[in-house]
């Protein structure tokens, strides 16, 4: 086992077990000291040679060290700003996050809270600024005093919906701040080198935006050269995603490797007999390019790997690619343990590990072929290798697998490579103040040709497969992949019996986890829409007033239930099948009755008993509704104002009827 991997393995274990540690900071500090002394005694005392005990002790020491350092970070950030109140705070802008038609979003640090006295805070928040014609954008490093309304991230209303609270907590972001329309007191901007670099990147983005090229070209160049995808059109981004090309648009290891490769080739010609000088120059080039791109996390990951490789050449210390990958991961996790839970971190490192392993194993199959065959076979092998290692994790997170990734990458990667080199030259000329109309035309036409090819590929390609992958099955399948590599790729057939036992385990998993054809009702709502889902025998009927919002409200619910057929209706439809009936806002399903009621007049003499009453508007006649419909459960639409929802909830609870506020949670019931 590689020595760096051992330490990385124990470090990751420490990060994963940190939430479950029973010790406080003081106890962890004492443990670190005791374990360190024991390890030093075992290591330097020749009379005591217990190799296995020494390894275990080192592992436990690393785990405790991770938990001690993480606990210190937690202790320093325990007090958050009180939620749902307005505060006067000192803010420092970390980065621009996103811009929409109505809002500017920033990652900020609350440096201090202005109450009776100045209280230091040091917590990260997402700042939302209303956007209009007179709004001025903040730059990274800007500091100012402002009034903000604090709000925390809410828990997901259903298990298959996006968990914003968990997502942002992994990024150490505590909540949202709504910038109030009061006077802002600007302070001196931070002179930290990181913010200077980020501001320089924004100047480069503004420089690209000022050029005489098309809007699509500006978006592609901003993403490809500077790692800024925030301005990329949503439809354009979706096209790349459906073809499995999203990694070509997101500045990452692919682009760093292309920059490294071209300069390494040029330097090998001009500095043929000076390998150390080549390494020094390459280090400066990679650092310079990382600075140009604003030191985004993906670029820092890739740059660190190449810098470690260049450094090993500089000191004439040969090492394996795996050692470099594992060492870079360890350095980043020491710097920021939460990166382990970052999707980009997981996917990028799995992709690199897959490429290093599978490409090394199978590249010999085409080494003696022609240059053209080697080029395209190499591209195909790299794409397949990356998909083998990241495909399962990608499906787990995004519930989609692009079937056309192979030929799309074979066609598009060479074009992206050419465009990257063209773009780098274009960027250098812009920095030198040299503007040529001919180069504008060449860049524009290159992007037009690329997008035309992508549209053509999409037209004749298969649609991505939508798949829901549970977490347990994800781990089982990755275990199977590792066993396949050990037994069949490495040809260690002594583990074949473990392989057969593992296959049997997966078969049992599918046997016992297989769900019966359940009948289930799902209701969710937002300010803009509601959705009612009824499932039976893997068939689904959806009722909604806005199907653009319905997909967001459902999340991956439909996929998780393995629905094979879906009928979509409006509430005014008349529809009937073997398990579902809909007519004029009245729904019957599995001996249950649901009525959607707005502000229409009631027949007070009627007696129409229903099981669930879905209230879409505020009504003061709750007692009349109770006497006419006698509901067992009342659902309150999220579009009803906060005050009116509270009044309705209190009124129904006073007459002993269960109420669910769809603003706070979705309603799910199996039958």
DSSP 491-506: --GGGHHHHHHHHHHH
Tens-place pLDDT, residues 525-556:
999 899 999 999 889 999 999 888 888 899 88
pLDDT at site 644:
94
pLDDT at site 71:
64
Q: Supply the pTM of this predicted model.
A: 0.84
Ramachandran region of residue 623, left (φ > 0), alpha (ψ -120 to 50) or beta?
alpha
pLDDT at site 47:
60
384 or 67, greater pLDDT:
384
Collapsed DSSP state (helix, strand, coil) of residue 185? strand
Look at residue 264 and tell me whether its pLDDT is greater than 60.
yes
pLDDT at site 83:
85
Q: Which is nearest to 58 in space by CA: 1, 130, 99, 104?
A: 1
pLDDT at site 544:
93
Residues in the chain: 671
Tens-place pLDDT, residues 355-381:
889 988 888 888 778 888 887 888 788
Tens-place pLDDT, residues 117-126:
666 778 899 9
DSSP 588-655: EETTEEEEEE-S----TT-----SEEEE-S--S-HHHHHHHH--SEEEE-TTS-HHHHHHHHHHHHHT
Confidence of residue 392 (pLDDT cuts 50, 70, 90): very high
Task: Centre a 10 Å sphere on the Cβ of residue 405 and count the other Cβ atoms it contains.
Answer: 20
121 or 429, greater pLDDT:
429
Q: CA–CA separation, 63 vs 40, rounded Å?
A: 17
75 or 259, greater pLDDT:
259
Tens-place pLDDT, residues 569-585:
998 889 999 899 998 88
CB 295 within 8 A of CB 308: no
220 or 288, greater pLDDT:
220
pLDDT at site 336:
80
Helix runs in 162-209, H state only: 164-170, 193-209
Tens-place pLDDT, residues 497-520:
999 999 999 999 888 876 656 789
Mean pLDDT of 213-235: 84
What separation in angstroms does the CA of 166 have from each of 175, 228, 338, 469?
11, 24, 12, 19
pLDDT at site 76:
47
pLDDT at site 48:
57
Task: Centre a 10 Å sphere on the Cβ of residue 120 and count the other Cβ atoms it contains.
Answer: 11
CB 321 within 8 A of CB 356: yes
Q: Which residues contact 577 (CB under 8 A, 6 or more apart)?
A: 539, 541, 567
Q: CA–CA separation, 287 vs 291, rounded Å?
A: 6
Which stretch of DSSP H or E encloses residue 409? helix 405-431
* Mean pLDDT of the chain, nearest integer: 84
Mean pLDDT of 168-175: 84
Look at residue 2 and tell me whether its pLDDT is greater than 70.
no
pLDDT at site 569:
92
Look at residue 54 and tell me whether its pLDDT is greater than 90.
no
Cα torsion 638, 642, 644, 647: sign: positive
Tens-place pLDDT, residues 618-660:
999 999 899 889 999 999 999 999 999 999 999 999 999 999 9
Ramachandran region of residue 136, left (φ > 0), alpha (ψ -120 to 50) or beta?
beta
Tens-place pLDDT, residues 69-110:
766 555 444 457 788 889 899 999 988 887 777 888 999 999
DSSP state of 516: P
CB 644 within 8 A of CB 565: no
Structure tokens at 627: 């006497």
458 phi and psi, to 5 degrees?
A: -65, -35
pLDDT at site 1:
46
Structure tokens at 484: 């396949």
Pairing of strands 118-130, 173-179: parallel
């Amino acid at each position: 086992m590689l020595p760096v991997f051992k330490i990385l393995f124990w470090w990751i274990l420490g990060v994963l077990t940190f939430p479950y540690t029973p010790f406080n900071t003081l106890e962890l500090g004492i443990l670190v000291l005791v374990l360190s002394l024991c390890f030093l005694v075992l290591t330097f005392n020749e009379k005591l040679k217990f190799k296995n005990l020494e390894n275990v002790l080192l592992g436990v020491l690393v785990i405790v060290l991770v938990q001690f350092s993480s606990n210190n970070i937690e202790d320093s950030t325990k007090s958050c700003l009180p939620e749902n109140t307005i505060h006067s705070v000192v803010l420092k802008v970390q980065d621009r996050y996103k811009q929409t038609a109505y809002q500017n979003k920033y990652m900020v640090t609350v440096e201090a809270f202005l109450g009776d006295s100045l209280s230091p805070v040091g917590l990260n928040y997402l700042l939302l600024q209303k956007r209009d014609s007179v709004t001025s954008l903040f730059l990274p490093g800007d500091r100012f005093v402002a009034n903000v309304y604090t709000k925390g991230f809410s828990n997901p209303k259903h298990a298959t919906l996006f968990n914003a609270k968990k997502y942002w907590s992994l990024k150490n972001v505590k909540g949202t701040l709504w910038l109030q329309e009061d006077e802002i007191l600007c302070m001196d901007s931070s002179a930290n080198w990181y913010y200077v670099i980020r501001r320089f990147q924004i100047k480069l983005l503004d420089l690209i935006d000022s050029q005489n090229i098309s809007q699509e070209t500006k978006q592609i160049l901003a993403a490809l050269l500077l790692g800024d995808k925030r301005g990329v059109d949503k439809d354009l981004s979706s096209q790349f995603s459906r073809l499995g090309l999203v990694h070509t648009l997101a500045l990452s290891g692919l682009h760093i490797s292309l920059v490294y490769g071209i300069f390494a080739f040029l330097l090998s010609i001009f500095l043929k007999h000076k390998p150390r000088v080549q390494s020094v120059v390459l280090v400066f080039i990679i650092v310079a390019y990382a600075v140009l791109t604003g030191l985004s996390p993906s670029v820092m990951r890739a740059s660190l790997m190449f810098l470690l490789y260049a450094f090993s050449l500089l000191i004439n210390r040969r090492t394996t690619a795996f050692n470099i990958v594992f060492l870079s991961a360890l350095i980043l996790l020491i710097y920021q343990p939460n990166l382990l839970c970052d999707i980009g971190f997981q996917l990028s490192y799995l992709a690199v590990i897959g490429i290093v392993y599978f490409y090394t194993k199978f590249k010999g199959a085409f080494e003696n072929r022609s240059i053209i065959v080697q080029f395209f076979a190499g591209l195909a092998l790299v794409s397949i290798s990356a998909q083998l290692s990241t495909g399962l994790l990608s499906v787990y997170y995004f519930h989609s697998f692009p079937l056309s990734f192979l030929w799309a990458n074979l066609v598009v990667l060479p074009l992206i490579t050419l465009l990257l080199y063209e773009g780098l030259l274009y960027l250098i000329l812009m920095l030198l103040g040299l503007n040529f109309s001919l180069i504008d035309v060449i860049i524009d036409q290159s992007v037009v040709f690329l997008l035309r090819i992508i549209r053509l590929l999409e037209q004749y390609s298969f649609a991505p497969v939508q798949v829901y992958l549970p977490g347990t099955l994800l781990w089982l399948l990755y275990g199977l992949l590792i066993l396949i590599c050990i037994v069949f790729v490495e040809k260690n057939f002594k583990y074949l019996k473990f392989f057969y036992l593992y296959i049997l385990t997966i078969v049992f998993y599918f046997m016992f986890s297989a769900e019966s054809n359940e009948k289930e009702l799902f209701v969710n709502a937002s300010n803009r829409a509601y959705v009612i889902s009824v499932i039976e025998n893997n068939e689904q009927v959806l009722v909604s007033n806005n199907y653009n919002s319905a997909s967001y409200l459902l999340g991956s619910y439909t996929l998780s239930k393995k629905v094979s057929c879906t009928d979509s209706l409006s509430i005014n439809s008349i529809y009937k099948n073997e398990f579902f009936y809909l007519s004029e806002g009245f729904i019957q399903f599995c001996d249950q009755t649901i009525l959607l009621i707005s502000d229409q007049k009631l027949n007070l003499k009627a007696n129409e008993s229903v099981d669930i009453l879905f209230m879409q508007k505020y009504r003061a006649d709750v007692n009349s509704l109770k006497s006419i419909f006698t509901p067992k459960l009342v659902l309150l639409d999220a579009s009803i104002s906060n005050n009116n929802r509270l009044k309705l909830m209190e009124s129904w609870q006073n007459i002993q009827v269960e109420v669910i506020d769809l603003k706070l949670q979705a309603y799910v019931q199996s039958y």
